[in-house]
Amino acid sequence: MKKEILYSIKSPYREPLDIIGFRFGSGSPALAVVGAMRGNEVQQMYVCAKLVRELKKLEKKRGIVPGKEILVIPCVNYYSMNIGKRFWTMDNTDINRMFPGYDLGETTQRIADGVFSQIKNFEYGIQMASFYQQGDFLPHVKMMKTDFAEQELMSLFGMRYGIVRTPRPYDTTTLNFNWQIWETKAFSVYTNATDVIDESSADDAVTAILRFMTRAGIITGKIHPGYCTEIIPESGIEQIRTESAGIFRSMTHVGTHVEENDILGKILDPLDCEENSYIRASAAGVVFFEFNKPLIDENTVCFKLIKD
């Protein structure tokens, strides 16, 4: 293993931002894994840190296939993480909206360029991504639908679901999209936590990545086969919104199969606990996402279903 500074940028008020990478094996750039790019992505950094630990053990056992190189970057934006901010500390910009980057641009553009220059030539790329909506959801792997995407590769992770996303204009500046434009087979892996550590789903994510590496011929060894992945388009996920605001009470859990018109939750009046409205399943399917805050606004997505 080689621990090295992949990119460094000076700050007038703090120590330099040194982005650390861990290299395993040598030879052809096989896989790059990128963790936290946002300051609240503690779980994503943790998954990468656990992966580094596992790869150290594998390297000692000579479990990395000769001629293959693996690079893991646990954290890109610890400046924001240290002060509890999601985006870049100075101007509140999102590093994952700055790719492929620009070495003479704004700070986050320079950081994106510094990272991307190190990872753009790998055959495979995995980003530990975080969900933008507040709630619990099923762990899954996601891939952008581009001319370079090979969707069936998502099944190598052995996760329950693989989701295909049709890019929108704002996706064109993300790491996943630009990786694919540079002909890297790129995936986003989601656990069910972001700003807290969920040990169980972190272990599942590490196992899924190791399973992928085994099946892709990057490492050797035996590992649990996991699920037979169901690959679905993102359009196959039904969003359910609230009819009123108030106290949100869920009556189901992610991963539960429900039938059309089943009650998923209810909204209570915050002053007298009268039931303002019920939330019902719009179709039969599996609960993919569940809102998890006590208060909710009207017309807010509170559940998502993977339709049968």
Q: Say if CB 143 and CB 127 are below 8 A apart.
A: no
Entry pTM? 0.93
197-241 pLDDT, tens digit per residue, is: 999 999 999 999 999 999 999 999 889 999 999 999 999 999 999
pLDDT-derived band at 126, boundaries 50, 70, 90: very high
Task: Look at residues 35, 10, 32, 5 and name the one whose alpha carbon lies nearest to residue 20.
Answer: 5
Q: What pLDDT is recorded for position 212?
A: 98
Give the structural domain span for 132: 2-228
Cβ burial of 284 (10 Å; 0-12, 13-18, 19+) is middle
CA–CA distance, 287 with 285 (Å, rounded to integer): 7
Output the domain CATH number for residue 300: 2.40.50.100
**Same domain for 152 and 207?**
yes
**Same domain for 144 and 262?**
no
150-196 pLDDT, tens digit per residue, is: 999 999 999 999 999 999 998 999 999 999 999 999 999 999 889 89
Domain boundary among 177, 207, 228: 228
Domain boundary among 194, 228, 262: 228
Residue 154 makes CB contacts below 8 A (sequence gap 6+) with 141, 143, 162, 187, 229, 231
Q: How many C-beta atoms lie closer than 10 Å to residue 226's C-beta? A: 18
CA–CA distance, 161 with 159 (Å, rounded to integer): 6
For the chain, how many structural domains are there in total? 2
Peptide bond between residue 74 and the one before it cis (omega within 30 degrees of 0)? no
Angle at 80 between CA 177 and CA 7, to 5 degrees: 60
**Same domain for 207 and 292?**
no
38-87 pLDDT, tens digit per residue, is: 999 999 999 999 999 999 999 999 999 999 999 999 999 999 999 889 99
